[in-house]
Amino acid sequence: MAVQLELGLSSKPVMKVAAIMNVRNTGRGPQILLAERANGEFTFPGGKMEKDEKLKQAAFRELAEEGVGIKEPVIPLSPVLLPTGVEISGYLKMNSNKITLKQSEPDKLGPWEWKYLHEAAALVANGLFPLSVWQQWIEKIPELAAEMKFKKELKQWKRRYRKGEIPAWMLVPEPFRDFL
């Protein structure tokens, strides 16, 4: 039983939650969108999945219910199992600068707020945000952003190649060009 508790597993059925982590970049660094629950803890936009509901469908339904308006594309994130038996699955929305926010569930959530990463880290330290979500989602923002930037740059290079502006070898990432 001790091993199960360490892993965050319990004999109770797992409650599935869908969420979308919204990130925007400012001149002072990335921010994430959070709201304070009635119990003082902070959360991403999202909520419980209904029976037979698909993850993306649940995530966007919950966002609509909570007054957060975003559009795709979103990037899937690995599920996180909390010690309470809640499994959070979700998506990442980068560059959420064009997002609509309105207060639609004031009895459940405070207003949506953009928090810098150091502010979110303070919430984790004070037990107001799950450490496992921080470790598996928020800490990965820089590498996910770098991956997205690489894909965007590669698309631009391919477009330039098709127009005949650059040679094919330039599509190969720089560290691998020595093998050509």
**Strand ranges for 82-123 from DSSP E:** 86-93, 100-101, 113-116
Q: Which of 120, 121, 56 is CA-nearest to residue 91? A: 56
- Looking at residue 109, what is its pLDDT? 83
Every domain of the chain and the residues it spans: 2-139, 143-179
Per-residue pLDDT of the chain (180 residues; tens, 9 = 90+): 333 333 344 455 578 888 888 888 777 878 888 988 888 888 888 888 988 889 888 888 888 888 888 877 788 888 888 888 888 888 888 776 677 777 777 778 888 888 988 888 888 888 888 888 888 888 888 777 777 777 777 778 788 888 888 777 766 666 555 655
**Tell me, which fold does domain 2-139 have in CATH?**
Nucleoside Triphosphate Pyrophosphohydrolase (3.90.79)
Rounded CA separation 116/161 (Å): 39
CB 38 within 8 A of CB 108: yes
**Prediction pTM value:** 0.69
Instruction: Please tell me the number of Cα atoms within 13 Å of 117 on its side-chain side.
Output: 15
The H-or-E segment that residue 23 falls in is strand 15-26
